[in-house]
């Protein structure tokens, strides 16, 4: 349960669409995907111009190129903590200084950034939004404050938004997460490079599904596009074909996937409530991950009342380390990969029985 893909077959129509193109096209091909991206976001009431779309080979390669293009060695780059490890690797590999930014919950229970932890000296802010592994989605007001801060201090915002199709309301009903800062005015959007892909939403990592950057500012877009082209890191023809098929044929399929993931999220809440287990965990407002704190001892509030049920599962004995999870046959992602020792990330994009089986192994022996 460590890999960040879904345990389901891709939409058959995408496979057929790609296979048809493969039969005839083996030479140099080009396929502009800007209009497909534009229409996809229009359906979500988000205005994106086709000309602002730049094709890229992958989200991580795009982040890496953006840092190479707009930062110089020794610059400070902000990043959330905990967050997706390869984003931090991009910063370190470019000999840039990591400036960790903390998140917190406000009085309304919304995820926000601790503004006091921001750095005026940073050149860029690499933001995984929604955040992986926590599923955090910053409130609209927090996004506005963050953008204002970055605009005032000339800080480029680079967003990895690959998990944005998997947003959920408080009752785990599906709702896509809007493009970061989409509620802000056009001036505010000029200092942002949005990066996303169809690979996560449509399970196309092996193709790979085409990735892209959305850059409204013409100057930033021109520099970024030139850097991508000089490194031959555009999305290849097959990837672009897959994106067009996904965005034109896959909306209903994705809706069904979201509903299934919403039920799995509800299942996790139900499991802990049914078993009277008190532990620290979150699934955030987006994504298909369970982020579980192993270092904080879980308790069972009413072991005697559940004696019969527990006799079927074993003795309540929660795993407390990543290695103990592995020894019980549950392999997730070690929290150390996200700069969060003592935590584990589990993939919930699988059969509900697999989730129950994994939780039984983690909490009972």
**54-91 pLDDT per residue, tens:** 999 999 999 999 999 999 999 999 999 999 999 999 99
Per-residue b or e along 259-289, where b marks 16 or more CB atoms closer than 10 Å to that residue's CB:
ebbbebbebbeebeeebbbebebebbbbbbb
Q: What CA–CA distance (Å, rounded) separates 62 from 68?
A: 10
Which tokens belong to 49? 């111009």
pLDDT at 305 over 90: no
Q: What is the pLDDT of residue 213?
A: 98
CB 283 within 8 A of CB 135: yes
Q: What is the pLDDT of residue 117?
A: 92
Q: What CA–CA distance (Å, rounded) separates 26 from 29?
A: 8
| Largest distance between two CA atoms of the chain | 69
Q: What is the pLDDT of residue 341?
A: 96
Q: What CA–CA distance (Å, rounded) separates 146 from 46?
A: 20
Condensed to tens digits (0 to 9), the pLDDT of residues 219-237 reads 999 999 999 999 999 998 8
Strand order of the β-sheet with 281-282 is 281-282, 289-293, 343-347, 333-334
pTM over 0.85: yes
Q: Average pLDDT for residues 317-331, to the nearest whole number?
A: 96
Q: Average pLDDT for residues 166-183, to the nearest whole number?
A: 87
- 7 versus 190: the higher-pLDDT residue is 7
pLDDT at 188 over 70: no
* Sign of torsion over alpha carbons 86, 153, 185, 136: positive
Q: What CA–CA distance (Å, rounded) separates 110 from 142?
A: 9
Above pLDDT 90, what percent of the chain? 76
The domains located in the chain, with CATH, are: 12-249 (3.40.640.10), 252-363 (3.90.1150.10)
pLDDT at 353 over 60: yes
CB 135 within 8 A of CB 287: yes
Q: What is the pLDDT of residue 310?
A: 53
Condensed to tens digits (0 to 9), the pLDDT of residues 269-291 reads 999 999 999 999 999 999 999 99
Q: What is the pLDDT of residue 147?
A: 94
For the residues of 171-201, what is the DSSP string, one character each?
TS-B-PPPPTTTTS-TTGGGGEEEEEESTTT
Tell me what the pLDDT averaged over the chain comes to.
Answer: 92
Which tokens belong to 303? 């072991």
Q: Average pLDDT for residues 188-203, to the nearest whole number?
A: 90
DSSP-derived pairing of the beta strands 122-128 and 156-160: parallel
Q: Average pLDDT for residues 40-57, to the nearest whole number?
A: 94
Report the DSSP beta bridge partners of residue 73.
Answer: none
pLDDT at 30 over 80: no
DSSP state of 10: P
Condensed to tens digits (0 to 9), the pLDDT of residues 105-144 reads 887 778 889 888 999 999 999 999 999 999 999 998 899 9
Condensed to tens digits (0 to 9), the pLDDT of residues 251-271 reads 999 999 999 999 999 999 999
Q: Return phi, psi of residue 76, to 5°.
A: -95, 135
Contacts 24+ apart (CB under 8 A), 230-237: 231/65, 233/56, 233/57, 233/61, 233/62, 233/65, 234/55, 234/56, 234/57, 235/33, 235/55, 235/56, 235/57, 235/210, 235/211, 236/57, 237/21, 237/25, 237/29, 237/30, 237/31
Q: What is the pLDDT of residue 309?
A: 55
pLDDT at 327 over 90: yes
For the residues of 308-336, what is the DSSP string, one character each?
HHHHHH--B----SHHHHHHTT---EEGG
Q: Cα 94–99–103 angle (5° rounding)?
A: 130
Q: Is the peptide bond before 284 cis (omega within 30 degrees of 0)?
A: no
pLDDT at 211 over 90: yes
Q: What is the pLDDT of residue 303?
A: 55
């Amino acid at each position: 349960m460590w890999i960040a893909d879904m345990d389901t077959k891709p939409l058959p129509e995408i496979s057929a669409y790609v296979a048809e193109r493969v039969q005839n096209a083996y030479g140099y091909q080009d396929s502009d995907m800007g209009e497909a991206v534009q229409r996809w976001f229009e359906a979500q009431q988000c205005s994106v111009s086709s000309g602002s779309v730049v094709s890229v080979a992958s989200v991580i390669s795009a982040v890496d190129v953006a840092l190479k293009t707009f930062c110089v060695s020794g610059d400070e780059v902000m990043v959330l903590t905990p967050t997706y490890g390869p984003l931090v690797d991009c910063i370190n590999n470019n000999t840039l200084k990591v400036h960790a930014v903390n998140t917190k919950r406000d009085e309304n229970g919304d995820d926000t950034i601790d503004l006091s932890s921001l750095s005026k000296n940073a050149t860029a802010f690499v933001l995984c939004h929604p955040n992986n592994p926590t599923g955090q989605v910053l409130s609209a007001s927090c996004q506005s404050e963050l953008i204002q801060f970055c605009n005032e201090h000339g800080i480029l915002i680079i967003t990895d938004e690959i998990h944005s199709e998997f947003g959920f309301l408080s009752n785990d009903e599906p709702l896509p997460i809007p493009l970061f800062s989409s509620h802000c005015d056009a001036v505010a959007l000029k200092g942002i490079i949005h990066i996303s892909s169809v690979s996560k939403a449509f399970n196309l990592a092996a193709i790979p599904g085409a990735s892209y950057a959305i850059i409204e500012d013409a100057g930033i877009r021109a520099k970024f596009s030139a850097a991508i082209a000089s490194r031959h890191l555009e999305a290849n023809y097959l990837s672009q074909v897959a994106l067009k098929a996904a965005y034109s044929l896959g909306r209903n399929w994705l809706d069904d996937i979201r509903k299934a993931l919403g039920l799995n999220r509800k299942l996790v809440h139900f499991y802990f409530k049914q078993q009277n287990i008190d532990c620290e965990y979150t699934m955030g407002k987006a994504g298909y991950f369970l982020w579980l704190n192993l270092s904080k001892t879980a308790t069972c509030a009413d072991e005697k009342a559940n004696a019969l049920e527990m006799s079927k599962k074993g003795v309540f004995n929660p795993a407390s380390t990543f290695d103990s999870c592995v020894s019980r046959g549950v392999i997730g992602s070690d929290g150390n990969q996200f700069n969060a020792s003592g935590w584990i990330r589990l993939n919930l994009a699988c059969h509900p029985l697999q989730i129950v089986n994994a939780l039984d192994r983690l909490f009972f022996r």
